[in-house]
Structure 1
């Protein structure tokens, strides 16, 4: 999912904002890093969480799918020689990146990186003209591929399910008409069309292209699937007493994390047709409040913290359960036709 460490935003195309780790003190309190512990930061980004965890005395294994973030983080690796291992990897693979002895903590900050938004050439921002890309790993299908080649019905579903865009049909039809004349190449190509099709009203607080850009970014990077698989991976990799801390920035992400912790909290299973009801052992117990949001002061100082939500759990002795995606009730996009099909 996103390559970020405290700089996430639900606004996929906002303007430049200085990198500030979100909910940093709350994350550290929930994560409880200390000397002798091994913490995995699954979303390294600019290294905000990783630096704070290292300063608390713990060792860190940091992951990021973005090669740019890996390159930029080498100075931090050198500064903490022997205590920080930085790996280019999707965080859904965190169990494979964990040491044989397991992990004492996992932190995930789910949101597009401020660095990615600020670099026009990455194609995440509608406020910066650049190639319509949005690939966090700099490989695979791009946003331009989706916009120019996906079937009309698939575009509508992407915009509805992943962007919660009410004008999805109108925008998708306009895209289909325009791409028949000339393909979309840049972020301004797409944002400009959306501005014409769904002009911004005076009362609107967000740009009309926000939800479409969000939907494309999530789809291109399989962000919801990555998050779901990362939660299962953390369950497998954490030692008893280990802590999983997740910061999300919009409702689709938070819904997945909330459902995961609810499902893993232990509950009675059975039906009225069965005389015996069995209880599943909990694999996670809650840490503090079920959900923590940013304070008014932090939200004022850092706009990207306004939608942030933190959820955390402590790993129990119970064995990890099966990775069953059905618990999340994710939007069904599996049947999307092949691009250009």
Structure 2
């Protein structure tokens, strides 16, 4: 672990020139609905997904046999996103919107879940850069959330004491894929807010890091295990990690909570080594409102064939004569 020093100390310049992102399988594992071809994660065809799983519904009201098949088709044809786990219903609709902002790119985050009648705010205590990036991407802001600007709510009393907790991994394309829970809380809750990144925000500070997607973030936020860029490019060329980041031998910083969580995140595997007796945090009493699609992603990943080093996957392609 290191504290912030300088860009030269923390970031590998030659590596940065290669413009690695979350789609670079020299650095990260591809999603289960993708495959690695010559260093890049590309979309699988739906039939290449594992067959077993539960049905899901997409925003175009089309039902898919598995989450992997839906994500594979979305990967090939972006636009139609995940809506809910289970069957499609006529009235089912998920929405995310920003309220009380001066522009359409900022505000308090409000969501309507598929099986809920009313819209609700999100509790600030569960809100992080992961959720903020996903919310902005869902709203059409391709570079995710702004790390520099904060939304300031003018003197306005919001007549609500209830809010939802949400947990995302950070690479979802819709907030509907994240897990929403309702916890028993007493007293006042702050609500989550966000400022989404726009080109107008493009005035870099003195000490900046430029993401592969063009977004500027503070150098202080590079190599800390948190995907501030949204495309993960701030965490893939690191000599060491600052803050609570866990450093993979491949030069990648991952969140410390990914260490010993039962899923290999470093492509070199050391985040799951020596985990005997590693205690997980006890969960509070929660009411889960949506399916845990991250658990489903991990399950699909576990069904995929494991790589045997030194032996290439022989795929015979018949040539047309």
TM-score category of the 2 structures, normalised to the smaller one:
under 0.3
Q: TM-score, normalised by structure 2?
A: 0.26
The structure whose RCO (Cα within 8 Å, separation 6+) is larger is 1
Q: Which has the higher helix share?
A: 1
